[in-house]
Structures are given as structure tokens and as C-alpha cells.
Structure 1
Amino acid sequence: MAGLTAGGPNVDVSLLYEINGLAQDAPGWLDRVVGFVGEYGLLLALVLLVLWCWRGVRRLPGAAAAEGFAALVWTPLAAGIALLVNIPLRQFVGRPRPFRQHGGLEVLADGKTDFSFVSDHATLAMALGVGLFIANRRLGFLGIGIALLEGLCRVYMGVHYPTDVIGGLALGTAVVLLLAPLAMALLTPLARAIAASPRIGWLVRSRRRGLAQPVDLPRSSSCENDLAA
């Protein structure tokens, strides 16, 4: 913990300067774009990806729609839990932001006064990506790729060390996967009940689909029909 609080091992700081150095050499408009994308854009892209997957899940028959819907409900819930877990973790480690420990950094985000380890943005992005992977392999790989890009942006912006990002990616992944069996066991029956409701059943399945149709589709194909359309 002392190494983290003091600014991290040398390789961590070296990577920080190398990646953030790209921001110093880049034109101002590119830094502004990366700053916006790293702060808001990539997270918004992940949310839209979850909604797109939901659109595809609703077109699946019966049990597959309920299972896919349960996985998509678990995705934001897991992300929220991961962020809550990070609150005491940040306070316990107490690692200052890199620009408070090291000079010469190009900082692309203002108002960062909280602790650095672990990155909330990386945690949230990876939780959404891995949760999406449970619902659909293809979109999940895309979501995980966006989460990795989010982590790179946070270091480029000068607001996190690389190990802050790695810790966030690990935390988001762990919360989603470790709690997924219990979450799916609780949410899948709820999704089936919602699907059977004449009022809100549209949340789980398209009105053109029936609930009782048999299904042999694996979970990984939840949205593939939508992508092929």
C-alpha cells in the first residue's frame, strides 16, 4: 500500500509519462476529443451497446429472451455494486492523483480532487463490458474492447496511473463474474414473470413473439440475430 500511496513503482510512473506524453505532443483539438471521449463518450457508447443488445434480446423466443433480459438487468446492477465497493477501497489505499505527485503532466480533466486507486471509469466500463459478455459474446467482446480503451484514455488524460486502470478493470470483472450465478438465479424468474405480464411483457419480448416457444439457443447468441438482420 505504501508504494501505491507514494505514487507507485517506477514502471508505473514511467508508463504514465510515456502515455501522457502523447497528449503533450498531440494537437489541442485531439486532446479535447480524447478528454471528452475518456470522460463521457466511451461510457455512453457502452450504455448504447447494452440498449442495442436489449433490442435483439426481445426478438428471441421464450426462455432465451428472459435469460438475456436478466443478464442485461444484471449488467448495470453489477456496475453499480462495483462502484460502491470502490468507495471504501479508495479511502483505504488513499493514493493521490498522479498530477499531485508528479510534475510535467498534461492533465485533460479538471476538478479531480478524490483519490486515484482504483479508477471509477475503468471499473464501470469493464463491469458493463463483462456484463454484456454474459448476455452476448460478440457484443461483449466489443464492450470489453471499449473498456480497455477507456482505461488507456484515463492514463492519457493524466488523471490515473496505469495500475489504477488495471485495478479498476479487475474490480469490475470480479464483481460481475463472482456474483453472476446468484444474480441470474434471482433475476431470471423475475424476467419470466415480467414477460408473462400483458402490460409490461414488452420489456422482455417483442409482441410478435410468444413466451412459450422452445429454445435451444446458447446464451452467447442473444443478440446475434439482431446483428445479422
Structure 2
Amino acid sequence: MPTSSLDERLFAAVQSFARSTPWLHGPAVLFATYGVVLFAGLAFWALLRARRAGDRDLAAAGWVALGTLVAVTVNQPVAALFGEARPYATHPGALLLVQRTTDVSFPSDHATMAGAIAVGLLVAAPRLGRWAVVAAVAMAFTRVYVGAHYPQDVLAGLLLGGLVAEAGWLLLRRPLTALTGWLRRRPVVREVFRPVATG
């Protein structure tokens, strides 16, 4: 996908900011590269918190991880369709703080993952979801900051991930809730995910 003049200007602005903030390089590279671990931890925490809740809440928590896998899978053919080159391929002088990759640039896998988990958590655990939204924006910014993506790549990734997570839950929440109820009555599983009795 060809970059717009606005996108080029935004990328140049972030590049200028990155060159003027060498003290931020380490934390930015760390989060841009390994921030996925934080998002995985948030998804797992949501599942643990919901393990004694009702079927719907547990299903929503489970969808955070499942919906993210679906979103990243959907992103693969979309990225292949556009086939956008990475910024460092079209701008040889660009500041690059991470290793080069042969993957295409649009939409960003990292931003897709972050957007899907953030929206999934807004459904399953709203308070945790709000923190995940902040982390998703930070992930998107750092992916541009380190020179791995254009701004449009991460914006598209956030939107795609969030859309898949939200639409998937709206379409599948009833069968997922029913499946969750069936699964948690199975031996072994019911010991871990037994709902708290009420009434």
C-alpha cells in the first residue's frame, strides 16, 4: 500500500523525535520487541480473574486470547494483499533500532495483536481493558519509533485487531458461552473453573 504524504510527514516527525531522544531508545526497543509478553500476561490475568465467574464472563475472558489469534490470522492475508515495504526498505537513511525482517509492513502484526487484546479486555474486564488501551497505543507508537513501521501500519493494525475482537464477540458470544458452560462441567476442568455458587 503506498504511503500518503501525511503518513510520510508523520513518520519523519517520529524519526526526528527518535534521533533527539537517545535515552528513550532502550525502553522503546524493549517494549516494541517484548511488549507482547505484557499483553499475554494481561489476557492470562483476565482468564484467572474470571475462572469462578459465570459462563458469559469466563467466555469473554477466554475470547481475549482466542480473538487475538483470529485477528492475527486475519491480518496475514490482508498484509500479503497490500505487500507494503518496511520504512527502512524505502528510506535507506532511516533510523532503525531493531533487526530487519522480511515481513511486509501494513498492517502491523504487533498493533493488530495489541488492538485485539485491548478491545477484548474492554469487554471481559473493563478496568483492565482501559490499561490495555494505553499499552496498545504505546505499542503502536514504539513500533514507529524504532523504525519498523509507518504510522498508517500501526493505526490499521489497531483498528483491524479491535474490529475482529469486537465483531467476533458479538457474533460468537452465545455459542462461546454455551461451550464454556459445557467445558467447565468436564472432569478436571470443573475443578479449576468451577463457578462460585450464589443465592
Aligned counterparts of 1:124 and 1:155: Cα–Cα separation in 2: 15
What is the deviation of 1:38?
0.8
> 1:10 and 2:20 equivalent?
no
Task: Give the equivalent residue in structure 1 for 2:188.
Answer: 199
Cα RMSD for the two superposed structures = 1.8
Task: Give the equivalent residue in structure 1 for 2:20.
Answer: 25
**The structure with more radius of gyration:** 1
Question: Residues 86 and 104 of structure 2 are in contact (CA less than 8 Å); yes or no, is this contact kept in structure 1?
Answer: yes
Task: Give the equivalent residue in structure 1 for 2:61.
Answer: 72
TM-score, normalised to structure 1, is: 0.80
Matched to 2:47, the amino acid is W
Question: Residues 130 and 176 of structure 1 are in contact (CA less than 8 Å); yes or no, is this contact kept in structure 2?
Answer: yes
TM-score, normalised to structure 2, is: 0.91
* Aligned residue pair count: 199
Matched to 1:188, the amino acid is T
Matched to 1:46, the amino acid is F
Matched to 2:33, the amino acid is E
Is there any run of 5+ residues in structure 1 with no aligned partner, and where? 215-229
Task: Give the equivalent residue in structure 2 for 1:39.
Answer: 33
Task: Give the equivalent residue in structure 2 for 1:123.
Answer: 112
Question: Post-superposition, which runs of at least 4 consecutive aligned residues in structure 1 deviate over 3 A?
Answer: none
Aligned counterparts of 1:182 and 1:9: Cα–Cα separation in 2: 34
> 1:153 and 2:142 equivalent?
yes
Aligned partner (choices 161, 166, 170) of residue 177 of structure 1: 166
What is the deviation of 1:78?
1.3
Aligned counterparts of 1:202 and 1:128: Cα–Cα separation in 2: 27
What is the deviation of 1:175?
0.7
Aligned identity (percent) is 32
